[in-house]
Amino acid sequence: MRAAGPVLIAAAIGIVACDADRRLPLRLSSWADDIEQRIESRNIQRFEQTHQGVRVVNDAISTQAEYREQILTSIAAGAPPDVFLLDNIDVPAFASREVLLDLGPLAPRVGLDTALFEPRVRGIFEVGGKLVAFPKGYSPMVIAYNRRLFEDAGLTPPSGHWTWDEFLSAARALTRDTDNDGEVDQWGAIFDRRVFLWIPWIWSGGGDVLCGDGRSASGCLDSEPTVRAMEWYLDWVRVEGITPRVQTLRRSLGDQFRLFNSGGLALMAAGRFWVPRFRPYVADGRLDIGFAPIPHRAESPPATVVYASGWAVPAASANRRLAVELAAALADSASQRVRVRHDLEISSIRSVADEVAASDSLGWERVFLDVMPTARMPWGARVRGWREVENRLPQVIDEVLLEGRPVREALHRAARDIDRILAETER
């Protein structure tokens, strides 16, 4: 038999390509980086194997801000992706436009039991009795600490819920001049002006940024509990000297990791999404770290914040049934096990998260799970104008630390501004 010539080979390749192109395309959008895309491709392949006539086109967009605008624009243009990753801060904007399918009643039809999801995480995506996304993964905020620095200072590392007084006592003892050159080179804690990092401190002190309905800040942001909590947080810099002064300004998050990973920082607020940054240093013996809950004021109950994302389906999807099946497949236990094996997040399916915690010899995962009863939904998941609010709040810190304005006055000014912001976004 004669070998096929170049023309015949090319023609054969063309036929294969055409056959592949005949598969129905489903568009999937997220802000995943290259590493996460490669991991997610395994879940996509599993879906395609059970849906032979379907091809999933994975469109990842580099920056989250750009991603959000592209999704909104595509929906407005009537050409949305079939499935997209919804961040908790974007839930109000999409839900208010009523552009997403209610996945709650559809889940049983595609074999997904939504009762398996961590309730506090599922609640982030429940709006007006509708489930606007299947939860993917999540993280509460906790405290990461350097065990060796505690041991060197003769201190017992924190375990379970602890108070502000206990935290402050440890941070003072851990702020040291280790080489006796007259300069502090080991810091007890790290101060940060970014809201997503400091709002758990306000909550754990009995204060809050917004009032209960999320429509105003006056009377809550400038309330006595919030003033006291913010004063306590700012006093890390103003009075205690337990944190590098430069960190009160607009420094990169990388500065904090470099300081912590090099042994120059004992305590820092952290989310589960940062664990991969710590692991290489732990693996090669440079770090020995643990995690503990966010400390609370003795008179206030423990509190933290939980951040999450989920798979949503636009109501305008041209392939609703398949889109819901894809969203469910990406949220099911098999897909979540793939992600947790690669250290990406905490599984939003509690049984999977418990499996991981049970096999974690370091004990890290159990801490994140154990704080969930104290975790609160972020304001961004409830308030449409939260992005603008979040932009205004760091100015409080700048006014106090850089301009010398009293905390109460700075908070009162911010509360009035935020009331206006919220009023405008509700129009």
- Structural domains of the chain, with CATH: 23-139+306-375 (3.40.190.10), 140-305+382-425 (3.40.190.10)
Q: What are phi and psi of 57, to 5 degrees?
A: -100, 115
pLDDT per residue as tens digits for the range 351-378: 999 999 999 999 999 999 999 999 999 9
**Considering the chain, what percentage of its residues have pLDDT values greater than 90?**
85
Beta-bridge partners for 28: 58, 83
Q: Residue 16: pLDDT band by 50, 70, 90 thresholds?
A: very low
Q: With 80 as the cut, is the pLDDT of residue 420 above it?
A: yes
| Single-letter code of the amino acid located at 386 | W
How confident is the model at residue 15, as a pLDDT? Answer: 39
> Is the Cβ–Cβ distance between 245 and 402 less than 8 Å?
no
CA end-to-end distance (rounded Å), the chain = 76
Handedness of CA 112, 114, 118, 124 (dihedral sign): positive
Please give the C-alpha separations between residue 141 and each of 270, 273, 291, in angstroms, as whole numbers: 6, 10, 10
How confident is the model at residue 62, as a pLDDT? Answer: 66
Return d(Cα 163, Cα 167) in angstroms, integer.
Answer: 6
CA angle 223, 224, 229 (to 5 degrees): 100
pLDDT per residue as tens digits for the range 59-90: 888 677 788 889 989 999 999 999 999 999 99
How confident is the model at residue 21, as a pLDDT? Answer: 58
How confident is the model at residue 19, as a pLDDT? Answer: 46
Return d(Cα 202, Cα 129) in angstroms, integer.
Answer: 29
How confident is the model at residue 60, as a pLDDT? Answer: 81
pLDDT per residue as tens digits for the range 373-399: 999 999 999 999 999 999 999 999 999
Tracing tokens 């208010």 back to the chain, one arrives at 96
Taking the CA atoms of residue 93, residue 95, residue 96 and residue 98 in that order, the dihedral angle to the nearest 10 degrees is 130
Q: With 90 as the cut, is the pLDDT of residue 22 above it?
A: no
Closest by alpha carbon to 208, among 190, 227, 234? 227
